[in-house]
Structure 1
Amino acid sequence: MSSPAPRGWLVGHHAIFLVFGYMLSGWAGYGCYFATASNPSFAWRFPLSLQCLSPLLLLVGSPWMPRSPRWLISKGKLEEARTVLHKLRASPEDPNDIAAKEEFYQIIDQLKLDEQKLKATGRSVWVSIWTKPSYRKRMIMGFLIQWAAEFGGPLIINNYGVILYTNLGQTGAMWADATSVFKQPLLLSALWLTTAGLIYNPGGAWLHDRVNSRRWMFMIGTAGCLVTTACLSAMIAQYAGTTNQVGNGFGVFFIFLYLAFQGTGCDTTMYLWVSEIFPTEIRSIGMGFSLFGQFASTIILLQTAPIGFAQVVWKYFLVVICWCAVFLPIIYFYFPETTRLTLEEISQKFGDDVAVHITDASQEDRERLERALEKGEDISTIHAGGDMKALG
């Protein structure tokens, strides 16, 4: 539903609110710690019941969610799609709704072209995703993006942060009374999630529309994860289990610095990138397969981390460090840039034909198209971009 210019900020909210949920869980865990002695049942019942809030809000808000204009057009519901697009693109700077008309025109023509190409192959969509090179590249790329962002280790720190902080000597009570003890690891875990939810993930979403490079955001984030994880490993190897407060303190510092790179450069990027690289006919399949990569890597790391910490301690992080080192050149050499292009125009980055160019059209072609749309003329002869046959 997002237009190209603010897509980083808008789609980035997916990652923002995911981490906001983690932040809420972190503070709920910290708060419920104080109830473990006096009311142990509440300490686990309340966090579980709190999970009902978000699905309830989603359920209540769902009737007001518009359907995807691209999906509507693919199903022949043109008028509903036109209405949705005009509402989404309405702007005082565009009184004639040119942006919505251009996009409507572009979507229709692209869907027709894609359908013709698919019919010409004689294959189903499920076969084409692996036999058509441009589709296959998207599937592999989507899987690797989601896999890589999670295999960079954020959930190791998120889920086992208390263990890490304890190993780094953060175990002392900051104050105590007759009924409770304030534990530093729980506080640090909650604060770590708070910085992600309020600073780093929103910062990453904001930067995407200004840096204008998905590739470099992801590469800088991945390189930062590599360096900070290596530094954290060094601190654990050298100072874990000792009374060296400076060394242990730097270990905690690198955990928070890690999040600056992961939350800003990787977390928002992975959801943004996989949401825009797939064409309409395979978007749901591609997104599902990409998320499979995310959760497959999550399962592997979270199931092996406790064993790794117990058996090899800091060396377990070599898994994350080596993966980041391997993945960096893959991003640089094989992942195309998709910033500020419409979803239809991104197809060209994977070698597919684009029916109508708007974002990167010449000024002359753009003006011709806009004049025709303003006057309500027949646009079947307008070729914005001029390289493919137009609508009709």
Structure 2
Amino acid sequence: MADNAVTKGHFKVCGKEFPEVTWFTRSNLRATYLLLFFVVLTSATNGYDGSMVNGLLSLDQFTSYMKGLSASIKGLFSGIMFLGSLLALPITPYIADGLGRRWGICIGSIIMIFAVVLQSASVNFSMFIAARFFLGFGVAIAHGAAPLLITELCHPQHRAIFTTIYNTTWYLGSIIAAWLTYGTNQIPSQWSWRIPSIIQALPSILQITCVWFVPESPRWYISKGQNEKALHVLAHVHAEGNADDELVQLEFEEIKETLKIEKEAEQTGWLELFKTKGNRHRLLILISAGLFSQWSGNGLVSYYITGVLDGIGITDPDTQLIINGVLNIWNAIVAITMCFFVEKVGRRPLFLISTAGMMLCFVVWTICSERYDATKVKANGSAVVAMIFLYYTFYNMAWSGLLVGYTVEILPFSLRAKGMCYMFAFVDVALFFNTYVNPIALEDIHWKYYIVYCVWLAFELTFVWFYYIETKNTPLEEIAKHFDGDAALVGGAAATEKGRVLEQEIHEKEAVGEHQEKI
């Protein structure tokens, strides 16, 4: 296991400590992080869509235009987007690894813009469904590249915070959509739902315009043999252009040697995550994180808050929209705040506190729902609303930001794009199931459906306790040591025993090749 002891005010790379860096005092780092805001918009776009769906289902103008929506149709209305995402996943790593992280974001954004145009111009339910399928397809491609670029570009000291922030911006998009649909509810025409749909294209337009000003991943450049470009990016972002900086040189050598070793070991296929003990451990975390992030009861509120609130006597559309809007603001505050505690508290403690808190809140939520159903006492319904807010407080301690922040960092470069596809695939499977089943279950068995989530959350807590490990204060390439031990493929000054052996073999082969060329 890697030694995580770090002196206060320092961070560690390749076993060497460096003084902490204040990002806003360095012009290049400051500019890069501001530009990365446009990369982060991929997650915000996803959040906008989730909240917009909730909002549209609360608009009489929308439901009447679509000529009534049954519970199963509501499920298809939301779930088809996740089916589109699922079908796009097999090609996303080839775009991100083959064309680059920036091209992945751009291609996904172009598809999303096409989908928004189709969605906004819809004249019937079938046309709207088709648009949402393509929207999911585009989101998956952009999602498959955006977090990779952030993780591989950030300064090692700030990587954990920035990658965790990525997924929390889901709520920023959600807030905008929630309050926008609340406002357009006052428009007595089809524009009440077409306006929110049209505005959904704005983040994608901004991404296409601005992503080219963001430097490409230095790790991707090295993987394509463009070492000089990689060194230039590392120097520009991490050392204000000084290519001779000690940190830049250590990073460059570690990344270069590690990628060379991974390539030599040929650990790049879809089945690699099944072949070693360390990779199987990674795969269990990827699958569980994808499922737990959506199968923890949050899907009930994220897409069907109207059904939950109907069940406790809150049926006024304006009131439902206000609760949805305020909840999203609270979620954003908690989620973004917790990003700054990832390195201080650690990933594992946050996951455990978050999951245990959700379980307790959901038990109380279920009891209050049953009491309201039996007595119709308004106080019990109000208690459910309070539990929803408290539940999301715990959810956002870990599962919002660390869903991407933790899973992307535990993967070596050669498996990072494909590994994230496994995680996102199970997110989409869970979402597709939830969005189709939740409205039907809520309509048929009401509060009794919550019992399923109470039991499931107890299982989640047990699983997290046994399988989620701590990775704080560890450079990106060196996280492999936590999973693979001495068998980890790490090069440079932090090389493991196996890494050094493979590194030596590679250098010997190169020397033989150079000798034969001379002959």
Query: What TM-score comes out, normalization by structure 2 length?
Result: 0.63
How much does 1:95 deviate?
A: 10
Structure 1 match to 2:280:
136
Alignment length (residue pairs): 348
Does structure 2 conserve the Cα–Cα contact (< 8 Å) formed by 1:15 and 1:201? no
Unaligned runs of 5+ in 2: 1-152, 508-519
Residue 281 (structure 1) aligned to one of 411, 414, 417: 414
Query: What TM-score comes out, normalization by structure 1 length?
Result: 0.83
**Within-5 A mapping of 1:309-320:** 309-320=442-453
Structure (1 or 2) with the greater helix fraction: 2
Q: How far apart, CA to CA, are the structure 2 residues paired with 1:233 and 1:386?
A: 50
Kindly report the root-mean-square deviation, in angstroms, between the aligned alpha carbons of the 2 structures. Answer: 2.3
Structure 2 match to 1:209:
343
Does structure 1 conserve the Cα–Cα contact (< 8 Å) formed by 2:365 and 2:388? yes
Q: Deviations over 1:189-210 (max 9, x none)?
A: 111111112x111012112132
**Within-5 A mapping of 1:154-193:** 154-171=298-315, 183-193=318-328
Does structure 2 conserve the Cα–Cα contact (< 8 Å) formed by 1:231 and 1:254? yes
Q: Tell me the SS of whatever aligns to 1:150.
A: coil
How much does 1:384 deviate?
A: 4.7
Residue 51 (structure 1) aligned to one of 180, 200, 203: 200
Structure 2 match to 1:323:
456
Q: How far apart, CA to CA, are the structure 2 residues paired with 1:96 and 1:245?
A: 68
Does structure 1 conserve the Cα–Cα contact (< 8 Å) formed by 2:308 and 2:442? no
Q: Deviations over 1:62-93 (max 9, x none)?
A: 1112111111111111011001111221269x
**Within-5 A mapping of 1:114-125:** 114-118=262-266, 125=269
Structure 1 match to 2:258:
110
Unaligned runs of 5+ in 1: 173-181, 358-382
- Amino acid aligned to 2:204: P
Q: How far apart, CA to CA, are the structure 1 residues paired with 2:176 and 2:494?
A: 48
Amino-acid identity (%): 24
Structure 2 match to 1:370:
none
Structure 2 match to 1:255:
388
Q: Deviations over 1:100-148 (max 9, x none)?
A: 2111111112112222333xxxx76234232233223322321211211
Q: Deviations over 1:17-45 (max 9, x none)?
A: 2111111111122112111xx2x211111
How much does 1:253 deviate?
A: 0.4
Structure 2 match to 1:146:
290
Q: Tell me the SS of whatever aligns to 1:168.
A: coil
Does structure 1 conserve the Cα–Cα contact (< 8 Å) formed by 2:489 and 2:496? no
Residue 355 (structure 2) aligned to one of 201, 205, 222: 222
Does structure 1 conserve the Cα–Cα contact (< 8 Å) formed by 2:352 and 2:465? yes
Does structure 2 conserve the Cα–Cα contact (< 8 Å) formed by 1:347 and 1:354? yes
Does structure 1 conserve the Cα–Cα contact (< 8 Å) formed by 2:232 and 2:243? no
Does structure 1 conserve the Cα–Cα contact (< 8 Å) formed by 2:480 and 2:490? no
Over 3 Å counting, the alpha-carbon distance change for 1:100 and 1:150 in structure 2 is same
Q: How far apart, CA to CA, are the structure 2 residues paired with 1:346 and 1:58?
A: 30
Aligned: 1:85 with 2:234: yes
Over 3 Å counting, the alpha-carbon distance change for 1:192 and 1:384 in structure 2 is closer
Q: Tell me the SS of whatever aligns to 1:151.
A: coil
Q: Deviations over 1:172-221 (max 9, x none)?
A: 6xxxxxxxxx7211110111111112x1110121121321x211111111
Q: How far apart, CA to CA, are the structure 1 residues paired with 2:426 and 2:384?
A: 30
